[in-house]
Amino acid sequence: MENDNTLEGELENPELLYEHHSFKADPGQTPFRVDKFLMSRVENVTRNKVQKAAKAGSIFVNSIPVKSNHKVRGGDEVKVLFSHPPHENLLVPEKLDIDIVFEDDILVVINKPAGLVVHPGHGNYSGTLLNGLLYHFEQLPKNKNERPGLVHRIDKDTSGLLVVAKTEQAMAHLSKQFFNKTSERKYIALAWGDIQEDQGTIRGAIGRHPKNRLQMTVFEDNSQGKEATTHFKVIQRLGYVTLIECQLETGRTHQIRAHMRFYGHTLFNDARYGGDKILKGTSFTKYKQFVDNCFALLPRQALHAKTLGFVHPENGKILRFNAPIPDDFSLAVEKWKQYAQHKNL
């Protein structure tokens, strides 16, 4: 897959349109409507936005503008332009409340709430954690992706801890710890199904799904993607779901979410990976109503970055932080505990 963020300069009003995405359809792909093709590849885009782009002549297949019902075929090059500039131009300071767990002269540890995007991107042009960081801290070092201060990231709808570097030295030192797998990262998750093993390890390279580019998938033979390892242990079995702790050895995009789906225990209410449906249990009306109530309490994937540990880049001390499980997560777990006891599962 190709994905560009370059400014398009060959249109009638080039200053108003920007090339956000450029894709090449996989060889042998069956004909697929271009609007659906883009929706499966562009994160947070709506069908209405794609159709507006098509009506404006801003979707191109092999450099020719097409309508939304045009069929994309294997090998086709697809580009879409929108009226808002790419996220590289959006790194502006914004006043934002940030839950700072720890701060000194060279780093800051933050407890990110669910729903907060870490850095600007398509569909999230403002109000991100990075916009808030730039407001609170005037100078932040850039990482290899030109994102100031960010040593690592967690997904929008995942809550919990992350560390931000305030100096070049801290960025280099912390990044090396993450690369060398010496940092400590533990997550609490609620997964569908009764996990029989008390503990285990999931290994498998993670890369973009060949058909749904918004998903990551596991390549068990390591033919694609990057190697990834997740360790887990069961905290409590609650009948049709299991509360677990996951420890990352590597840090790939959607690692726990992709690994748990591969393992056969998709995270509860993880819409991206199908966890927003009843994957275990009966189809009785009362049970369905119960699950729907849990979905309403926890309207996101059940994943929380609870523990973060690393060596301080300057003084060499081991720092370890824990973030309490948020209310939405706790309430859903409590409902499952009550259900499991009531049903004697």
Kindly list the structural domains of the chain, giving each domain's residue range(s) and its CATH number in brackets, ordered by start: 18-85 (3.10.290.10), 88-179 (3.30.2350.10), 184-343 (3.30.2350.10)
- CA pair distance 259, 307, nearest whole angstrom: 19
- CA pair distance 187, 155, nearest whole angstrom: 13
Q: pLDDT for 57-98, tens place per residue?
A: 888 899 888 999 999 999 999 988 876 555 445 578 889 999
pLDDT at 22: 80
pLDDT at 309: 98
The whole-number average pLDDT for the span 153-181 is: 94
Active site residue: 35, 76, 155, 270, which one? Answer: 155
Token readout for 78 is 């697809």
Maximum pairwise Cα distance, the chain: 68
Our answer to whether residue 155 is catalytic in this structure is yes
pLDDT at 141: 85
∠ CA(249), CA(314), CA(128), 5° rounding?
60
pLDDT at 123: 59
Work out the mean pLDDT of the chain and round it to a whole number. 87
pLDDT at 27: 84
As a whole-number percent, the residues of the chain with pLDDT over 90 amount to: 61
Q: pLDDT for 187-243, tens place per residue?
A: 999 999 999 999 999 999 999 887 776 789 999 888 889 999 999 999 999 999 999
pLDDT for 5 beyond 70: no
pLDDT for 171 beyond 60: yes
Distances (CA, A) of 228 to 3, 4, 184, 208, 247: 23, 26, 15, 13, 12
65 forms beta bridges with: 60
The whole-number average pLDDT for the span 112-136 is: 83
pLDDT at 121: 66
Q: pLDDT for 299-324, tens place per residue?
A: 999 999 999 999 999 999 999 999 99
